[in-house]
Amino acid sequence: MTRGRLRGVGRAGLCVLVVGGALFPIYFMLIQSLKTPQEDVFGYALIVRQPTLDNYRELFGEERRRGAIIGRTLLRTYPFMAWLENTIVVYAGSIALTLVLSVTAGYGLGWLRPPGWRWWRRGLFATYAIPHTILFVPLYQVVIRLGLDNNLAALLLTYPMLALPFCVWLLSAYWERLPRALEDQARVDGASRSAVFVRILLPMSAPVIVAAGVFTLGTVASDFMLASVFLLDPRAQTIPAGVGTMDVSLEELSAVAAINLMAIPIALLCAGFVRSYVRGLTAAMVEGA
């Protein structure tokens, strides 16, 4: 076997290991959610022989209405549909609000370039040196004073703060590198500055905007602490916070099924936009950005 072929086999093997390691947690959680309690205890860890959707039905109340009992323990019911609706509202609203704010701020810093714009952008990026986990105390005080505890508006207020600095930095770095001749030629043809922004700059920036949206989705979907602190009412919680209240010792498989219903769609959505995500990051991560 030639050296070039050995290198190709080695690279292919490395890719298989990396992809397998990334997909293994998803596979394991999916297999666990399809098991019965008996097979979970006495069956194989990585194989399901008798798949069932009972764990998913329990989340939506179909099986739990029968009054399922383990020993002398009556299993609790959970408002999973309310959790799902809250999660969709919070994630969609956070992404929309973050993109609107980051597009306008990124346009101002990267294209209009007010005095000190470089320092403003560096300051935004430097905020990521501060761990987000230590911010929940001042954020909680703000939420309490505004009377937004147990309200989805608390997350809609705080989630954009977590992703906004990077998204503004990303978009401003991209618009900084675009040639100013684009606007000059359009203004000669009679277009206004707003028309240049809407008809020229935004379509050209679609991959970068997608990258900012995917980054925002990953940021808000990975949060557990803020949602569990701000939303104590069971019906006001999102899926991550709600799953944290489940009794894992008795309802491990149902909890895994609930996590799958949130994690797998998000993973598939991000996989669908991965090409635009890479293109957007590549376009923005230029020398000097």
Share of the chain above pLDDT 70, in %: 91
Residue 232 maps to a domain:
yes
We report the CATH number of the domain holding residue 222 as 1.10.3720.10
Residue 67 maps to a domain:
no
Residue 116 maps to a domain:
yes
Q: Would you state the pLDDT for residue 43?
A: 79
Least confident of 27-36, 123-132, 157-166, 228-237: 123-132
Q: Would you state the pLDDT for residue 1?
A: 59
In the block, tokens 């399922």 appear at 68
Enclosing domain of residue 15: 1-51
Same domain, 89 and 177: yes
Which is nearest to 75 in space by CA: 206, 247, 273?
Answer: 247
Share of the chain above pLDDT 90, in %: 11
Is residue 147 over pLDDT 60? yes
Is residue 5 over pLDDT 70? yes
Same domain, 19 and 128: no
Is residue 108 over pLDDT 70? yes
Same domain, 33 and 123: no
Q: Would you state the pLDDT for residue 249?
A: 65
- pLDDT 10s digits, 162-209: 889 889 988 888 888 888 888 888 887 787 888 888 888 888 888 899
User: HSE of 141 in the Cβ direction (CA atoms, 13 Å)?
Assistant: 4
Q: Would you state the pLDDT for residue 100?
A: 94
Q: Would you state the pLDDT for residue 183?
A: 80
**pTM score, two decimals?**
0.84
Cα–Cα distance, 98 to 102 (Å, whole number): 6
Beta strands per DSSP E along 141-187: none
Which is nearest to 229 in space by CA: 239, 221, 237?
Answer: 237
Is residue 40 over pLDDT 50? yes
Q: Would you state the pLDDT for residue 91?
A: 94
Contact present, 178 and 205 (Cβ < 8 Å)? no
Segment 269-284 mean pLDDT: 83
Q: How confident is the model at residue 51 (pLDDT cuts 50, 70, 90)?
A: confident
Q: Residue 245 — φ and ψ, nearest 5°?
A: -95, -5
Same domain, 197 and 262: yes
Provide the mean pLDDT of the chain. 83
